[in-house]
Structure 1
Amino acid sequence: MTSTRRGRIRNVIRLAPLLLAGALAFAAPGAAGAQINGPDAASWQHPGGASIDWFAVRASGHEFAIVKATESLNYVNPYFVQDGIGMRAAGIARGAYHYADPTQSPEAQAAFFASTAAPVIAGGLPPVLDIEHSGGLPPAALIDWTRRYLNSVQALTGRQPIIYTYPNFWRTAMANTTEFSNYPLWIADYNGGAAPGPLPGGWRHWTFWQYTDSGRIPGVNAAIDLNYYGGGLGDIHVFGNPFGS
């Protein structure tokens, strides 16, 4: 072995930790080729009362799911409990969302959602506020409604909520306010690209990206929203341990 060859080997050894670190960074959640996938579901994904086979969903590579729990002050997804149990049994990181009705009290809706979704929120992903219509409120009033809802849910659950929204809705109905940019963002953007477009509201990063509303996956007998996890909540798998809290 010549001295030149020995020098090359020493250089490779020195570079090995850096190469390993780079590989791990590339494989982090949200990196190309290492996307963590998951659907979100509501009653629409149960046509004719059909169940979702969450074991088939998990076996097809989907590692998290977020299910609608409540809407306004009087609607509970009739499949919320069975889906919550199914996700837990399959080892899927599970979450729950509330569909906002800005015409009704935000505090009352927060209490309604928190009490209904408590079993999922306790050991699953943080609670989600789905805000995508204004209820006729002008931006200042809608911003106030959102603030009050988020504060109430956090006080009731002890967890910072996630905000789900669309870019155009936030830029118009919410006047592109940056007040909530410290909350995790779940952005819906069906642009057909490899990432969401420019984020609204001063957000610099997304936690979840809903990239289609017409996906098809094993275990679900209807079209379904599909999402990527972009990091920000740590190892998402800890929210899917069926033997955890």
Structure 2
Amino acid sequence: MKSLKLLGPLMLTVACTSPEAPPRPPAATAPVAVAAAPVAAPAAPAVAPASAEASAVQEPSTAAPTATQTPAAHQVAARARGIDVSHYQPTVDWDRVKSSTSFVFIKATDSTGVVDPRFASHWSGAKKAGLPRGAYHFFHPKHDVDQQVALFTRHLKSDPGELHPVVDVEEFKTEYQGFTCEQLSGMLQRFSQGVEKELGRKPMIYTNHQTWQMSFCNHPYFVDHPLWLAQYTSHATEPKLPPGWKRWLFWQYSESGTVPGIPGAVDQSYFNGSAQDLMALSQAQATAD
């Protein structure tokens, strides 16, 4: 997934692929740095110990394999597969996409004041096609957390989607520099609590191993949050989980997939369950709203 900045307070979000940064295998385009005065690191709230409570929304019953288990080929084949899009995919034929796709995550917002220019059309188009949808926010630790919560949730209040809202956490440029793991974890906790307060759902964490280890030190507070893990590979049948998490809910396994109805490459992900499990999750989310 990417974020692109322009000079001044104006910012433009871009494709749903990784920005220039080591955490994820090579991103298509790096964000453009903004020439601005350094922003002082905000005081981070205290991060509570890992919560023992399960998410309020019941997830599918599919058991999570351990790191040493390899699911049978038929289990992998049975997993529902989907995509994520942003304005880097300006033209989408949703009826064609639906023929080969079970779900979609759509870029909604970025930082404190940027809405993806294709969010409204993608959001309504996917809904009209009957695809389960989730929206995501690209998180910026150097920008006001409460304003980021307000921007994201304001665009989901009337139609929160059928899947978890998502916070995209990945390093890029110098955004994560100058903060300790405790500070970054505190800001992400504040974002999570703000989203849950406004939408009634814990946001799903989208991240990769390097970002989570280097910038968040595998902080245990978030292990009860749903996990969308970016780990690109052409041979593994199961991603390696970050410490603490017992299962992944979504696994972004490619940034160069092809899907009928979308010109060019698109990110692709597995859902950790079947299409029937995905439908059950969607219905549970709708009931919780």
C-alpha contact (below 8 Å) 1:92/1:240 kept by paired residues? no
Instruction: Write out aligned runs for 1:11-160 (5 A).
Output: 31-46=75-90, 51-59=91-99, 61-121=100-160, 123-133=161-171, 134=176, 136-160=178-202
Which one-letter code corresponds to 1:45 in the other structure? Answer: Q
Q: Does 1:205 align with 2:243?
A: no
Superposed displacement of residue 116, structure 1: 1.4
Which residue matches 1:176? Answer: 218
C-alpha contact (below 8 Å) 1:93/1:239 kept by paired residues? no
Which residue matches 2:38? Answer: none
Which one-letter code corresponds to 1:77 in the other structure? Answer: D
SS at match of 1:98: strand
Which residue matches 1:10? Answer: none
Cα distance in 1 between the residues matched to 2:104 and 2:168: 15
Superposed displacement of residue 109, structure 1: 0.5
Superposed displacement of residue 232, structure 1: 11
C-alpha contact (below 8 Å) 1:63/1:237 kept by paired residues? no
Q: 1:159 to 1:234 in 2, by over 3 A?
A: farther
C-alpha contact (below 8 Å) 1:180/1:201 kept by paired residues? no
C-alpha contact (below 8 Å) 1:162/1:183 kept by paired residues? yes
Cα distance in 2 between the residues matched to 1:147 and 1:232: 30
Cα distance in 1 between the residues matched to 2:139 and 2:89: 20
Per-residue Cα deviation, 1:218-240 (whole angstroms, up to 9, x for no partner) = 11112110001014998323677
| Structure with higher RCO (Cα < 8 A, 6+ apart) | 2
Q: 1:109 to 1:94 in 2, by over 3 A?
A: same
SS at match of 2:154: helix
Q: 1:53 to 1:116 in 2, by over 3 A?
A: same
Q: 1:197 to 1:156 in 2, by over 3 A?
A: same
Which one-letter code corresponds to 1:204 in the other structure? Answer: K
Q: Give TM-score scaled by structure 2 length.
A: 0.67
SS at match of 2:76: coil
Which one-letter code corresponds to 2:77 in the other structure? Answer: G
Match of 2:259 among 217, 223, 230: 217
Q: Please provide the CA RMSD for this pair.
A: 2.3
Per-residue Cα deviation, 1:27-70 (whole angstroms, up to 9, x for no partner) = xxx92221101000111112xxxx211110101x2110000000
**Structure 2: gaps spanning 5 or more residues:** 1-73
Which residue matches 2:58? Answer: none
C-alpha contact (below 8 Å) 2:76/2:237 kept by paired residues? no
Which structure shows the higher helix fraction? Answer: 1
SS at match of 1:224: strand
Superposed displacement of residue 183, structure 1: 0.4
Q: Give TM-score scaled by structure 1 length.
A: 0.79
Superposed displacement of residue 102, structure 1: 0.5
The structure with the largest alpha-carbon Rg is 1
Cα distance in 1 between the residues matched to 2:151 and 2:280: 26
C-alpha contact (below 8 Å) 1:93/1:238 kept by paired residues? no
Which residue matches 2:65? Answer: none
